[in-house]
Amino acid sequence: MDTGLDLNQPAPELTAAICDIASVSGAERPLADAVEQALRAHPHLSVDRDGDAVVARAGEGRVGRVVVAGHLDTVPIAGNLPTKRDGDVLWGRGTVDMKGGVAVMLRLAAQIASPVRPVTYIFYDNEEVEAERNGLGRISRTRPELLEGDFAVLMEPTSAMVEGGCNGTLRARVTVRGTAAHSARWWMGSNAIHDAAPVLERLGAYQPAKVEVDGLVYREGLNAVAIEGGIAGNVIPDRCVIAVNYRFAPDKTEQAAFDHVCEVFRGWDVDLADSAPAARPGLDRPAAREFVAAAGGEVRAKEGWTDVARFAGLGVPAVNFGPGDPQLAHADDERVNITEIVECENRMRAWLAPDEG
Amino acid sequence: MDTGLDLNQPAPELTAAICDIASVSGAERPLADAVEQALRAHPHLSVDRDGDAVVARAGEGRVGRVVVAGHLDTVPIAGNLPTKRDGDVLWGRGTVDMKGGVAVMLRLAAQIASPVRPVTYIFYDNEEVEAERNGLGRISRTRPELLEGDFAVLMEPTSAMVEGGCNGTLRARVTVRGTAAHSARWWMGSNAIHDAAPVLERLGAYQPAKVEVDGLVYREGLNAVAIEGGIAGNVIPDRCVIAVNYRFAPDKTEQAAFDHVCEVFRGWDVDLADSAPAARPGLDRPAAREFVAAAGGEVRAKEGWTDVARFAGLGVPAVNFGPGDPQLAHADDERVNITEIVECENRMRAWLAPDEG
């Protein structure tokens, strides 16, 4: 049928085609349907559907299996669809985050019937919204066997650089207590906001570590992200709460990271709000070494938290590698240079099917 | 008629009677009606009504006129009505704040037909709620001539001590600015919450003045009453706002007080939220000196802001003087020792009608 996706058109054209099937988070169904239909046309693939996620497996067995993953959804459209092509530049929502990567995945899945290692391609929903809706998270809870592998590549935009692992992230609340009183008789109270000064000083003076893990250097950070205190305009406040965000390197568990935050703020009440684990790049594994070699040899650490940590949580080391400048993700003028899409496809193909080059 | 107030019953009994006519702010009408009706029975009084406020004037002319004022409303009832009498203690909502003072005013108005100086008694509404609803404020805007006088006594609870004038109060916002960035790449931003530390230090180190005005010492205060900052849990905050409350002595205008706050926080943006003027005690005036002598000779400075400042705004110096412990105002166990009511009445009577003693 003519509404089907043609997976044999060049990757830049395929990117434009799947961008033009709008798929803002929660509304991925038409794109997921098109992806499922196109993949089912290829008998070398075993295709599964889970909500608005599609999983396609190529190659036999579990040994040496690798996972290639990308999300189908985008942030809301900002007058930037349909896509526009201007020379080597493709403009529009999703061109960077991350339908260039998805187009590459679709072509690899369709065209590589006999990869040198078994491959699982995962196209998932709801990456751009609250963590509990994330399709990869849902599959990891309900069907973790679909994510099994020795190594994973998440095709998020990295300007076609390999970015290994990711920092973890943790939020905690530091509470400073005082004694309320009428502000006309302030000496009867103890001002919790004034007494928060040393907490803020400690944050300002904090020297975040740079930590080497598997040969990559991760830059940590500890920052206040919110502060609140105050009861009324005529009351000495009895409480001031500082919310801090600790970005921690993959040498630490979430517990070790929280212990560190408690140590930094020893003397105050510290409680954990939420956390997400860091991910090691896993560059000591053969599949990873071969991937890095195929991708050009250079690897840098990923600073931000990404879904690679979901693989790490399942014991699968993972890297980010995809076309597009991450600084342009979510921007109204989101755009990708199509040469990056082609380069990523070639590198991935050299890794999965070196003899077909 | 038997629902009328008997202004000749002893002050403690009259206090109980007017407490038992519930008059939470906004619902003062039945009490205002009863007060108006009782006062109109006395031909030596000239009675005016303004909304739920009642003004009664005794004596001729404007020269040497004094004002005695009290509010009719209370904070909400907390299961503490009707009043209960236990020996010398009268329990219930309004017994302290401030129907003991109102009872004294009613008896003085009814019984002193020829005061030694002309007197204006003002019974007003909505003192316990937002300033814009305050009945005394309304009269000062629409009928300021009713408040004219050389000196005013506000019969708010002071444990029967004379408390002169009051501090002014001012609220300002101090804004610390930074640069937003993703907290995973915190070094791209500048953290406004961290940079608020020196503002809090300055507050903690601030030495508030004690200022003598007209022989009374006023204790100032400068305190943070609120702090807020933060955009999201993964964003370096670009703004932190500290709300400060400055309680300033009656030697300063509101403008001078704001200038002082700007000076303390030089280097940051400071903007004024609101302010209310301080009030001088005016103890240099003959009517005030005679009042203090009649009231026992002792005077202390009033720390909190009260409606005496509304008189000050009209050029009328004012003091607080009334029965009841101000610490029990608004308390669920609000209660007054009736000997304070009797003492206040006797002192006021000695001032307004010394020859009738």
Nearest residue of chain A to residue B182 (CA atoms): A304
Q: Is B127 a catalytic residue?
A: yes
Rounded distance, CA A114 to CA A146, Å? 19
Rounded distance, CA B3 to CA B8, Å? 15
Domain range annotation of chain B = 11-165+279-356, 168-276
Instruction: Indicate the angle between helix axes B338-352 and B286-294, nearest 10 degrees.
Output: 140
**Side-chain-facing half-sphere of A263: CA atoms under 13 Å:** 8
The size of the A-B interface in CB pairs under 8 A is 152
Query: Does the beta carbon of A219 lie under 8 angstroms from any beta carbon of chain B?
Result: yes
pLDDT of residue A357: 57
Are residues A237 and B226, on separate chains, in Cβ contact within 8 Å?
Answer: yes
Contact A193, B202 (CB under 8 A): no
Contact A292, A299 (CB under 8 A): yes
Choices 3.30.70.360, 3.20.10.10, 3.40.50.2300, 3.40.640.10: CATH for A168-276: 3.30.70.360
pLDDT of residue A99: 98
Local confidence band at B288 (pLDDT 50, 70, 90 cut-offs): confident
Nearest-CA distance A199 → chain B (Å) = 8
Longest dimension (CA), chain B: 83
Nearest to B301 by CA among B244, B241, B247: B247
Q: Which of B225, B264, B300, B305 to mutate: most A Cβ within 10 Å?
A: B225
Percent of chain B with pLDDT over 90: 75
Q: Which amino acid is at B144?
A: P
pLDDT in tens, A62-115: 688 999 999 999 999 989 999 999 999 999 999 999 999 999 999 999 999 999
Whether the pLDDT of residue B2 is over 60: the answer is no
Rounded distance, CA A107 to CA A127, Å? 22
Nearest residue of chain B to residue A232 (CA atoms): B225
Query: Does the beta carbon of A245 lie under 8 angstroms from any beta carbon of chain B?
Result: yes
pLDDT, mean over chain A: 93
Q: Which carries the bigger pLDDT value, residue B306 or residue B79?
A: B79
Among A230-234, A342-346, A347-351, B37-41, the least confident range: A230-234
**Side-chain-facing half-sphere of B227: CA atoms under 13 Å:** 33
- Phi first, then psi: give them for residue B72, nearest 5 degrees: -90, -20
Contact B59, B65 (CB under 8 A): yes
Per-residue burial over A284-294, b = 16 or more CB atoms within 10 Å of its CB, e = otherwise: ebebbebbbeb
**Residue B266: burial class (beta carbons within 10 Å; 0-12, 13-18, 19+):** exposed
Q: What angle do CA B265, A208, A214 make, to 5 degrees?
A: 160
Nearest-CA distance B289 → chain A (Å) = 27
pLDDT in tens, B215-271: 899 999 999 999 999 988 888 999 999 999 999 999 999 999 999 999 999 999 999
Query: Does the beta carbon of B182 lie under 8 angstroms from any beta carbon of chain A?
Result: yes
Query: Does the beta carbon of A240 lie under 8 angstroms from any beta carbon of chain B?
Result: yes
Contact B97, B159 (CB under 8 A): no
Q: Is B298 a catalytic residue?
A: no
Whether the pLDDT of residue A325 is over 90: the answer is yes
pLDDT of residue B247: 95
Which CATH superfamily includes the segment(s) A11-165+279-356?
Zn peptidases (3.40.630.10)
Of B171, B187, B191, the CB nearest to A233: B171
The model's pTM is 0.77
Measured CA distances, B4 to A85, B30, B92, B284 (Å): 88, 11, 21, 41
Are residues B240 and A227, on separate chains, in Cβ contact within 8 Å?
Answer: yes
List strand residue ranges (DSSP E) for chain B, in order.
46-50, 53-58, 66-71, 84-86, 89-91, 119-124, 151-154, 162-164, 168-177, 181-182, 210-213, 216-219, 221-229, 235-236, 239-248, 269-276, 299-301, 318-320, 335-337
Whether the pLDDT of residue A1 is over 50: the answer is no
Nearest residue of chain B to residue A168 (CA atoms): B184
What interface predicted TM-score (ipTM) does this complex get? 0.77
Catalytic hit among A73, A97, A125, A340: A73
pLDDT in tens, B117-176: 999 999 999 998 888 899 999 999 999 999 999 999 999 999 999 999 889 999 999 999
Nearest to B178 by CA among A203, A271, A345, A337: A203
pLDDT of residue B357: 57
Query: Does the beta carbon of B261 lie under 8 angstroms from any beta carbon of chain A?
Result: no
Nearest-CA distance B175 → chain A (Å) = 13
Measured CA distances, B265 to B200, B222, B268, B270, B272 (Å): 10, 12, 6, 7, 13
Are residues A229 and B227, on separate chains, in Cβ contact within 8 Å?
Answer: yes
